[in-house]
Amino acid sequence: MAEQRSIGAERVEAAAEGAPEGAAGESVRIAAAAPAADHVALHWAAHPRGLAASRFHFVWLRANCRCAECLHPHTWERTIDSYALDPAIRPAEIAAAEEGRALALRWPDGHETRLAAGWLAARDYDGGARRADMRAVRSWDAAALLADPPEHRWEAVTTGDADLRLMLTDLRERGLAIVRGVPPQDGEVERVARRIAFLRETNFGVGFRVENKPDPNNVAYTALELKAHTDLPNRESPPGIQFLHCHRADAAGGESLLVDGFRAAERLRDEAPEAFARLTRTALPFRFVDADWDIRWRAPTIRLDADGDFEEVRYHDALTAPLDVPFEEMGPLYDALRRFTAILREPQMELRLKLQPGDLIAFQNRRVLHGRGAFDPNAGLRKLEGCYVDCDDAWSRLRVLERSAGG
Ligand code: OGA
Ligand code: ZN
Ligand code: ZN
């Protein structure tokens, strides 16, 4: 039978897998286990979402045995070979145990598996728990965002884990967090970003300074307008989260602009489904060229994940190389890009704010587009400092903070 593990290790593993163990998990009960040809139907006596029954394949149940022989007790990595299991495996015995708190299985070779009812309910791929770790994305237009601004204070996020967790939750769900009161000095943006994860270095450096420069290799380093865009679309993996911190805002103009690319993509899907489909299947060529670099990648404007949910928006006309789709597709592609652009530029979609010294914005760069108005470099200084981290590291930080908060 399963070797006992310490409560501490169980909790880490439960949190690491996003299980609602706590109160919800403990209240789950199995009334009966009804085996069929290749699976068992569990009839729930009590279920957090009120489900009557859920099915689990036998091969899945065997592959996910939690005992110390099947799952390494320290690394939580599987030590059996899922794909070497008999595809027709079937337990010799299967029953609800511990008053319905667990499912007990005995396999033909005598191996025993015990799975907690709450653990099973949290991974119920038949009943809506699929991708339970993928938090609901809350897309927004300007009015929705301003009704509940994702604002945070520097003192709080740099000293308190609870406030850092709230900031990361805004970044995860809405793709944007605004932090006020960050000392407008060199290196402070990196200190905030390093609270979350290590920094993502690029051809612009570990950190970068956005100001009007004499010999710019990037339009951001001029005083020109920057239309809403995502950074570094010319890379295989554009950075996941961008931080921009305002040090000086004396120049007239230069207001920041933010648009939720996922909301714009939802609108395009509803209003022009053919244009939407075209932008998900047509890779655009992107390129960045300067004296030292020639960095190119091809990717679609809107990328969906395997379930059809939004994964990425990549949009930056200035860095788009000459389009090179087949002749008859060129006209429709320009039409589709114009249609998406029109949505992105609707005033109701755009959050506009003039950053003041001490303001920092952090946003998902593969979702939320950013830009700025032109400014007058002769009428005062404008200076921002920026850096990037990646989403997988940031969401890891969020999960670990939730774990220690007793989630
Ligand atoms: C950038 C950028 C915006 C700004 O550096 O990538 O878009 O407000 N800057 O200057
Ligand atoms: Zn086992
Ligand atoms: Zn940019």
Q: Residue 191 falls within a domain, yes or no? A: yes
Same-domain check for residues 217 and 337: yes
pLDDT at position 405? 79
1 domain residue, yes or no: no
> Distance between CA atoms of 169 and 149, rounded to whole angstroms?
13
- Answer with the one of 122, 150, 182 that is the final residue of a domain: 122
What pLDDT, in 10s, does the model give residues 71-123?
999 999 999 999 999 999 999 999 999 999 999 999 999 999 999 999 999 99
- 115, 168: one domain: no
Cα dihedral 377, 382, 387, 388, rounded to 10, equals: -80
- For ligand 1, the distance from its centroid to the CA atom of residue 399, given in whole angstroms, is 30
Q: What is the mean pLDDT of residues 175-201?
A: 98
- The reply to whether 20 and 157 lie within a common domain is no
- 33 and 62: one domain? yes
Question: Is residue 329, in this structure, part of any structural domain at all?
Answer: yes
User: Which mutation among 209, 315, 350, 372 tests ligand 1's pocket best, with the greatest number of atoms within 8 A of CB?
Assistant: 372
Same domain, 325 and 376: yes
Enumerate residues 6+ apart whose C-beta is below 8 A from 330.
Answer: 323
Is position 151 within any domain? yes
- The residue segments making up the domain with residue 198 are 142-405
Q: Do 20 and 164 sit in the same domain of this protein?
A: no
pLDDT band at 5 (very low <50, low <70, confident <90, very high): very low
Looking at the CA of 254, which ligand is closest?
1
39 inside domain: yes
Instruction: Report which ligand 1 atom has the smallest distance to the Cα of 386.
Output: 5
282 plus 327 within the same structural domain: yes
- Taking CB atoms and a 6 Å cutoff, what residues make up the pocket around ligand 1? 210, 220, 226, 231, 256, 370, 372, 384, 386
127 in a structural domain? no
Instruction: Assess whether pLDDT exceeds 60 at residue 19.
Output: no
Give the model confidence (pLDDT) of 254-277 as tens digits.
999 999 999 999 999 999 999 999
Boundary residue ending a domain (91, 122, 153): 122
Asked if the structure places residue 330 within a domain, the reply is yes
Return the number of other C-beta atoms located less than 10 Å from residue 315's C-beta.
Answer: 25
Averaged pLDDT score across all residues of the chain: 92
pLDDT at 3 over 60: no
39-56: average pLDDT: 93
Which residue puts its alpha carbon closest to atom 9 of ligand 1? 220
- Please give the pLDDT value at position 2: 38
Report the CATH number that the domain containing residue 72 is assigned in CATH. 3.30.2020.30
Same domain, 257 and 377: yes
Q: Atom 4 in ligand 1: which residue has the minimum CA distance?
A: 372
Domain count across the chain: 2
Q: Which residues 6+ apart lie within 8 Å of 315 measured at CB?
A: 228, 229, 230, 233, 261, 301, 340, 344, 369
Residues in the chain: 407
Give the pLDDT confidence of 374-400 residue by residue, as tens digits. 999 888 899 999 999 999 999 999 999
Q: Cα of 294 to ligand 1 centre, how many Å?
A: 21
Domain membership flag for residue 135: no
Rounded to the nearest angstrom, the distance between the alpha carbon of 239 and the centre of ligand 1 is 14
Residue 66 CA to ligand 2 center (angstroms) comes to 6
Has residue 16 got a pLDDT over 50?
no
- The answer on 91 and 168 residing in a single domain is no
Instruction: Say if residue 22's pLDDT is above 90.
Output: no
Residue 404 has what pLDDT? 81
Residue 46 has pLDDT above 50, yes or no: yes
Between 128 and 261, where is the model more confident? 261
Q: What is the pLDDT of residue 406?
A: 59
pLDDT category of residue 18 using cuts at 50, 70 and 90: very low
Ligand 2 centroid – CA 160 distance (Å): 41
Per-residue confidence band for 23, with pLDDT thresholds at 50, 70 and 90: very low
Asked if residue 170 and residue 71 are part of one domain, the reply reads no
Same domain, yes or no, for 117 and 162? no
Provide mean pLDDT across the span 308-335: 97
Same domain, residue pair 103 and 178: no
